[in-house]
């Protein structure tokens, strides 16, 4: 059975359990997923999630499908399929369910993602006709190990160059159109990032 994760109650714990089984080092929490969903601009970018349920009621797979802000036009979708039971057709069924859902919406392209060391996931995507377009590099910087004192001289160098670093809250009190200026800067930078498809700039409302 494939259903909405909240069809029979709170589906967040089971969804998080599945994702962490596939991407355990990411440490996704229920609170983090709730916050992510709550902050998603659903009036602008469509999103939906399904889970696969076994005959005995165990949730064994999940699939997210959503438009990605600032990356692709409205007819391209990003799909994450996380099957807990590999090689038993659950991923294929979830992906097929997503395709049936998306075709009436005019979807022209699905964008899947897999880690470079996830041999099974890469084989799954290749089997279903996905082709590699680009790679993303993860940052594993441990911010808790950062020592501000080692960078104290950089503050003086920045000041000497005539630049000032402020918080967003502080800048908004100084510059009435701060958000508009940041939006223009953000849009310009995103347009300059190499991508398989040209960036689709977000609106000022979504950015804010």
User: Which part of the chain has CATH 3.40.630.30?
Assistant: 2-127
pLDDT of residue 172: 92
Domain 2-127 has CATH 3.40.50.620: no
Task: Please say if the pLDDT value at position 106 is more than 90.
Answer: no
Mean pLDDT of the chain: 82
Q: What does the alpha-carbon distance between residue 197 and residue 60 come to, in Å, rounded to a whole number?
A: 33
* pLDDT tens for each residue of 112-158: 888 888 888 888 889 999 999 888 877 778 888 888 888 888 888 88
Q: How many CB atoms lie under 10 A from the CB of residue 16? A: 19
Q: What does the alpha-carbon distance between residue 115 and residue 186 come to, in Å, rounded to a whole number?
A: 27
Q: What does the alpha-carbon distance between residue 71 and residue 150 come to, in Å, rounded to a whole number?
A: 36
pLDDT of residue 162: 93
Task: Please say if the pLDDT value at position 90 is more than 90.
Answer: no
Percent of the chain with pLDDT over 70: 88
Looking at the chain, list the stretches that DSSP marks H as alpha helix, in order from N- to C-terminal side.
12-22, 30-38, 90-102, 119-127, 152-160, 168-174, 178-192, 204-207
More confident residue, 185 or 24: 185
Confidence of residue 170 (pLDDT cuts 50, 70, 90): very high
Task: Please say if the pLDDT value at position 174 is more than 90.
Answer: yes
């Amino acid at each position: 059975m494939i259903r909405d994760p909240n069809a029979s109650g709170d589906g967040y714990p089971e969804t998080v359990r599945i994702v962490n089984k596939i991407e355990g080092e990411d440490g996704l929490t229920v609170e983090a997923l709730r916050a992510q969903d709550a902050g998603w601009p659903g009036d602008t970018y469509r999103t939906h999630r399904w889970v696969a349920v076994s005959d005995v009621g165990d949730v064994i797979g999940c699939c997210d499908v959503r438009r990605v802000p600032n990356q692709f036009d409205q007819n391209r979708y990003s799909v994450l399929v996380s099957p807990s039971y590999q090689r038993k057709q659950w991923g294929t069924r979830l992906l097929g369910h997503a395709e049936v859902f998306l075709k009436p919406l005019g979807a022209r392209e699905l964008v899947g993602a897999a880690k470079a060391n996830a041999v099974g996931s890469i084989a799954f995507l290749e089997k279903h006709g996905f082709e590699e377009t680009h790679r993303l590099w993860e940052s594993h910087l441990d911010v808790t190990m950062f020592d501000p004192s080692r960078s104290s001289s950089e503050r003086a160098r920045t000041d000497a160059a005539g630049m000032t670093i402020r918080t967003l809250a502080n800048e908004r009190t100084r510059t009435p159109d701060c958000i508009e200026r940041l939006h223009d800067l953000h849009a310009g930078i995103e347009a300059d990032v190499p991508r398989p498809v040209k960036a689709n700039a977000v609106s000022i409302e979504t950015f804010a």
